[in-house]
A and B are shown apart, each in its own frame.
Chain A
């Protein structure tokens, strides 16, 4: 199955290249030939490993005819190496993929890996032709998307802010049944518009979370039909009994139940399964960022929970620009390869000049309010657009989401 998807993706990619290039004039193939070294680097958090079924495709960009496939690899210190000889100089797109076998949490794991770079220049001097690709571990659950985030809460008839009815929806955007077991739902530690010079700036490498919750299950407990979605409520009760302006979330699929021993006890709704709280920077009951300037992501943790808690701890630190004080935000970090989908939420008037997510995850942002003084976004959500029966997912929330939309839960 996984392989099928992979193949179809790579075929699609190859076709695209071909299609685009074919529409242009067929220029002459350059006569000059060269050779290139391709380094495949394995992720740093993966130890001893072996690559099987590895394949590298080089697709030239000026014509539609030349595709080079390499299947032989040499093991190196950082990963694997392959050499292509007698290849014409010019611009290429590179796709590498394969299977990686390695140890994690005391178990042997085999996972699909992939790396792409669609703009590589090969020149005549072969010493300058070296391509490094970082193999991403990808999870095969790529069909899940975050389809809606409702973080603004509602107003009570007395005019008070009501926030217990926040929720997140994730949807199966494929044509097959997917299992959501083990999927983690996260809120970012970085804040849009709160630009800081982080000492270890991982914004481009993955997702730093200040809250990590996981859907429980053994692998086949949480099936999600094609096009169907899971409703994850902060508090899965019928909020209409408290606040007539709110919704009935008692039919939610999961709730963020926060065990606590103080008097502010979270409500555990019978009939609604609880998400597993893996990490939260605060012991109080989780509230999604009301201002709407954080990002949300879903992903899958590789390895065990224990290993994750031990090794993925991340102190997001920066020096306060005014007093120089080192500010430490305690967080957990997930590499990009573990992230399935992310949505960046920001306030409209913010400068948007400082991305808190890798561009590959989300190029844009969506919003409910213009700025902190804007009170109009209450009762509104950000909802992913649909096109031809599918959710739009171009990794650009500006395009993919309807900002300030009416929530889909009634």
Chain B
């Protein structure tokens, strides 16, 4: 870290020593379509081939003695511009890939140094998505999947076939969503019904899994950049990726969209207003209604969003101020119930209500002057959620169950639950987030080197004001589980503070060009109790990316650019509120459960232990990524290839820990049931003290996710005769999931009236290696004359495979009921009781399963009518498919897929 600092300092010194001339000509270089500044364009005097200037981050350049001379402005991916230089002129560069038509319906590889996909508005419109999840099809390795809107959708970047296990969810938790500069935080999400075991509840739990993409509407999106590789140090609290969403601003249009597909309907309405000088206001609303099965109206998902966005731009001679404000509401609702008419009139419902209010404001000031300070920006965002998950069901017990009401450790004679009652269990969360960021961009004026130093700091606060688990302990929904209501609001707020600095350099070396982005981010979690290992600890994320561009050369008549790039970076994601402050676990051991035909004489006595399951040693999940790649542009065709490796060894997971507990076992054999006048009194009953092992779950850093792979994207220029462009993208991924921790297991078998009293500790545990390779061939045709666009994509999945890693059968050690640890000896495998500790995994389980080739053919069509006011679009996924049967283990596996289609109408007034 010290080294990085000193390097930065030296760079500074180096930059400041460059002489500064008086006679200057300045200019501005912008992209012709987007009017975005082009940073790093080289200004060459055409006669001498010498680079005289490089544009800065605002697209500006200054050079001496060029007034009136012919200059050549070039930047990779753009057609070089040869013009006469004039002071204060603006030059527009035209992209050479999109020279013919600007319609891009696929994701494009970003021009930056890290692997990232940019998805523009046209691509989104052509895709016809219902929620953000649908966009992931466009990433390398992506494939069209039917929307599954009845359960949360998590993002899993660069994974072959992601496991569903919550123990490997750090990958989605560690993917940060940033909307208009404000990150979406899910750190204080604790919306799970504690003790729930029903699939309809547990499948909809996305605590510790990051953002639910169902709740993100796509219609306001102007552009998304999904950074699969190493993001800038400006972005923190992430391990796996970054999703940067930019929403539309300005315009005067009234837009409406109506979409229907096989499982959902979507309505969208928006209006853009521009007024005054540089003021814009955009209002939009969206409603999505989805049924998993359209015939079943009892299970549905709906989403409502409202958005109001303003921006103001003040241009002055020396500076520009941009001020944007967003106010958003997002509602995401799941409902599932049983029809009372088919359920003997009983109610049986599941409801989730996620309501999110968010506001963000950012003020950016850009300076035009040749000062060091080029930009200063501040962002403030806040969000407040009111989330309730609620489950109601009739509970019918067949035996005596304790009502676990006591929250203190000790022995308690407790109430007995009735046999039949309605059980309702809610969890109410009110996550609140506050985020503030200040950043500045500095630049040493130079004609030789384009350089930017980004300095910034951000702070975020997460707090949950919710009531937490809400249920009546005398009528609990999940009986037999030791859950107690606790308010989330007693959990302290989590604060994180970060500082970062990043230098971006563009250095022409001869006719080569070196790009260097190097930065460092320091994160600390504040407000932590001192006994936590993370307390006061700075976690440092250095991230460096280097690019090397070869001079343009020609093959025949075609201009060719080649750039090689690579990078390495560390990423840190702090544990969530649930990981740091888990709910206290209760252990309720029934010491006496006396049943008597007379209800008044029944009694249950419970020994309650309150277990501290806080893992003080929990640390952030850290992901080390490296990647190398190349970008090649040849005759307007573009190829990019990235080879990567990401190793996250400290992903979060649950772990079961066994301890020995002592309790009484009351002996009721002496009671004469017929002569009782009152329930048996534990004070007078004889008992035996017993010791037994009980397990409790804690959170730890034991999940390793190792991702390796190759991503590629090739897009041709549009062949003018056919109006068609071919895009080939795909990936090869190999992912390893592995539990690096010792696993404890107690066999469930009962011998001679007692459950096996021992717990085995095993070294080699769950490990899974998955692999896949795919290629999508997309032919997209745009016929401007007919206002017709259509695309055919052949999505080839070459194979997927999965293989489990060997597990140890015999434990290394075992725990006896007194809590003592014993070494496992070979002869223990023959002991009447200990032999149950031997797990029965066999090599057959570790063979590799391959699913061979399959291909889907998807069709998408858009047609503009009525002077472009009306746009009709339809899609059909898997219109044709090739999914042959295959043989596995001597068994023929038959595969079949079904088409999925939808239709939409867009109105633009």
Q: Which residues of A contact B (CB under 8 A)?
A: 156, 158-160, 162-165, 235, 237-239, 241-243, 250, 258-271, 276-285, 305-306, 309-310, 313, 315, 317, 319, 321-326, 328, 330
Residues of A within 8 A of B482 (CB): 263
B371 cross-chain contacts in A, Cβ below 8 A: none
Q: Which residue of B lies closest to A271 (CB)?
A: B673
Judging by beta carbons under 8 Å apart, are B840 and A242 in contact?
no
Residues of B within 8 A of A156 (CB): 396, 420
A267 and B396: CB pair below 8 A? no
Contact call A259/B673, Cβ cutoff below 8 A: no
Q: Which residues of B contact A263 (CB under 8 A)?
A: 401-402, 404, 479-482, 588, 590
Are A250 and B597 in touch, CB under 8 angstroms? yes
Kindly identify which residue among A268, A280, A305, A330 contacts B595, using a CB–CB cutoff of 8 Å: A268
Contact yes or no, A284 B748, CB < 8 A: yes
Say whether B7 faces chain A, with CB atoms less than 8 Å apart: no
Residues on the A chain within 8 Å of B673, using CB: 270-271
| B751 lies within 8 A of A238 (CB) | no
A313-B835 in contact (CB<8A) = yes
The reply to whether the CB of B47 lies closer than 8 angstroms to some CB of chain A is: no
8 Å CB contact of A276 from B346, B419, B420, B753: B753
Chain B residue numbers with a CB within 8 Å of A281 are 748-750
Stretch in B447-455, B790-798, B818-826, B841-849 touching the partner: B841-849
Q: Can you list 25 A-B pairs, Cβ within 8 angstroms, ordered by A?
A: A241-B597, A259-B753, A263-B404, A263-B588, A265-B399, A265-B604, A267-B399, A267-B593, A268-B595, A269-B597, A270-B668, A277-B750, A277-B753, A279-B752, A281-B748, A281-B749, A282-B750, A306-B832, A323-B844, A323-B849, A323-B888, A324-B844, A325-B845, A326-B841, A330-B836
Residue of B nearest to A246 (CB): B398
Interface status of B19 (Cβ within 8 A of chain A): no
**Chain A: minimal CB distance from B420 (Å):** 7
Q: Does B557 sit at the interface, judged by CB under 8 A?
A: no
Contact of A278 (CB < 8 Å), options: B590, B752, B844: B752
- Inter-chain contacts of B49 with A (CB < 8 A): none
Q: Which of A242, A280, A321 contacts B419 (CB 8 A)?
A: A242
Q: 1/0 per residue B387-420: CB within 8 Å of A?
A: 0000000101111111010000000000000011
| A160 to B671 CA separation, bound complex (whole angstroms) | 34
Interface residue? B3 (CB, 8 A): no
Are B398 and A261 closer than 8 Å at their CB atoms? no
- The interface residues of chain B lying within 8 Å CB-to-CB of A164 are 398-399
With a cutoff of 8 Å between Cβ atoms, the chain A residues found around residue B867 in the complex are: none
B418 (CB) vs chain A CBs: closest residue: A242
Q: Which of A158, A265, A271 contacts B593 (CB 8 A)?
A: A265
Q: Chain B 881-907, CB within 8 Å of chain A: the 1/0 string?
A: 000000011010000000000000000
**Which 9 A-B residue pairs are closest in the complex by CB-CB distance?**
A270-B673, A164-B398, A159-B344, A328-B840, A326-B842, A280-B750, A267-B595, A283-B755, A265-B593
New A-B pairs, 7, CB < 8 Å, besides A156-B396, A158-B346, A163-B398: A158-B396, A242-B397, A259-B753, A271-B673, A279-B749, A279-B750, A323-B889
**Complex CA–CA separation, A187 to B341 (angstroms):** 38
Binding site for A on B (CB under 8 A): 343-344, 346, 394, 396-402, 404, 419-420, 479-482, 588-590, 593-597, 604, 663, 668, 671, 673-674, 692, 694, 748-755, 832, 835-836, 840-842, 844-845, 847, 849, 888-889, 891
Q: Contact check, B398 vs A238: say whether CB atoms are below 8 A apart.
A: no
Q: Which of A163, A241, A276, A315 contacts B840 (CB 8 A)?
A: A315
How many whole Å from A240's CB to the nearest CB in chain B?
11
A1 to B546, CA, bound (A): 97
> Given A158-B344, A261-B692, does the pair A283, B595 have CB atoms closer than 8 Å?
no
| Shortest Cβ gap from B593 to chain A (Å) | 4
CB of A185 to closest CB in B, whole Å: 15
Contacts A262-B480, A310-B832 known; A159 to B400 CB distance under 8 Å? Answer: no
Q: Of A235, A260, A330, which is within 8 A of B398 by CB?
A: A235
Could you tell me the distance between the alpha carbons of A379 and B116 in the complex, rounded to whole angstroms? Answer: 63
Whether the pair A265, B590 counts as a contact (CB closer than 8 A) is yes
Q: Do A264 and B480 have beta carbons less than 8 Å apart? A: yes
Contacts of B397 in A (CB 8 A): 242
Structural contact, B398 and A242, CB atoms closer than 8 A: yes
Cross-chain contact B481 with A309 (CB below 8 angstroms): no
Contact in complex: A268, B668 (CB < 8 Å): yes
Q: Is the CB of B590 within 8 A of A261?
A: yes
CB neighbours of B754 from chain A (8 A): 259
CB-CB under 8 A for A322 and B889, given A271-B673, A283-B748, A313-B835: yes
Q: Which residues of A contact B748 (CB under 8 A)?
A: 281-284
Q: Which residue of A lies closest to B606 (CB)?
A: A263
In the bound assembly, the distance between CA atoms of A232 and B359 in angstroms comes to 67
Given contacts A263-B401, A263-B479, A282 and B749 within 8 Å (CB-CB): yes
Q: Are B845 and A326 neighbours in the complex by a CB distance under 8 Å? A: yes
Q: How far is the CB of A303 from chain B (nearest CB, A)?
A: 14
Contact partners of B590 in chain A: CB under 8 A: 260-263, 265
Give which listed residue, B343, B751, B844, B889, contacts A279 with CB less than 8 A. B751
CB distance from A45 to the nearest CB of B (A): 16
CA separation between A315 and B840, bound complex, in Å? 10
Docked pose: A87 CA to B700 CA in angstroms: 80
Tell me the bound Cα distance from A242 to B419 in angstroms: 6
A285 to B480, CA, bound (A): 13
**Min distance, Cβ A382 to any Cβ of chain B, angstroms:** 22
CA distance A249 to B840 in the complex (A): 40
Q: Which residues of B contact A321 (CB under 8 A)?
A: 889, 891
Docked-complex contact B844 and A325, CB < 8 angstroms = yes
Q: How far is the CB of A206 from chain B (nearest CB, A)?
A: 19
B341 to chain A, nearest CB (A): 12
Q: How far is the CA of A330 from the CA of B344 in the complex (A)?
A: 40
Identify the closest chain B residue to A234 (Cβ). Answer: B398
Within the complex, the shortest CB–CB distance from B624 to chain A, in Å, comes to 34
Contact check, B399 vs A305: say whether CB atoms are below 8 A apart. Answer: no
Residues of B within 8 A of A330 (CB): 749, 836
Separation of A322 and B545 alpha carbons in the complex (Å): 47
CB-nearest residue of chain A relative to B835?
A313
B344 touching A264, Cβ below 8 Å: no
Alpha-carbon gap, A262 to B398, bound state (A): 16
Interchain nearest-CB distance for B822 vs A (Å): 20
Q: Which of A250, A265, A305, A325 contacts B842 (CB 8 A)?
A: A325
**How many Å lie between the Cα of A278 and that of B749 in the bound state?**
11
A250 nearest CB neighbor, chain B only: B597
Q: Which has the most chain A C-beta neighbours within 10 Å: B398, B671, B836, B891?
A: B398
Chain A, Cβ-Cβ closest to B694: A261
B842 contacts across to A, CB distance below 8 A: 325-326
Cα separation A163 to B482 with both chains bound (whole Å): 24
> Which residue of chain B lies nearest to A330 when distances are taken between CB atoms in the complex?
B749
Bound CA span A309–B398, Å: 32
Contact partners of B889 in chain A: CB under 8 A: 321-324
> Chain A contacts of B343 at CB under 8 A?
159
Contacting residues, chain A, for B398 (C-beta < 8 A): 162-165, 235, 239, 242-243
Partner of A267, one of B400, B480, B694: B400
Residue of A nearest to B673 (CB): A270
* Complex contacts, B480 vs chain A, CB 8 Å: 262-264
Give every chain A residue within 8 A of B604 (Cβ-Cβ). Answer: 265
Cα separation A259 to B844 with both chains bound (whole Å) = 37
Q: Which residue of B lies closest to A159 (CB)?
A: B344
Q: Which residues of B contact A328 (CB under 8 A)?
A: 840
Q: Quick one: closest B residue to A310, CB to CB?
A: B832
CA distance A266 to B604 in the complex (A): 12
Q: Please indicate the chain B residues that have their CB under 8 angstroms from the CB of A283 in the complex.
A: 748-750, 755
Check A305–B752 contact: CB distance below 8 A: yes
In the complex the two chains form, what is the Cα distance from A306 to B889 in whole Å?
Answer: 41
B841 contacts which chain A residues (CB < 8 A)? 326
Shortest distance from the beta carbon of A65 to any chain B beta carbon, whole Å: 55
In the complex, the answer to whether A160 meets B394 with C-beta atoms within 8 Å is yes
| List of B residues within 8 angstroms of A241 by Cβ | 419, 597
Q: How far is the CA of A238 from the CA of B597 in the complex (A)?
A: 7
Neighbouring B residues of A264 by C-beta, 8 Å? 399, 401, 480
Partner of A309 from B344, B668, B751, B847 at Cβ < 8 Å: B751
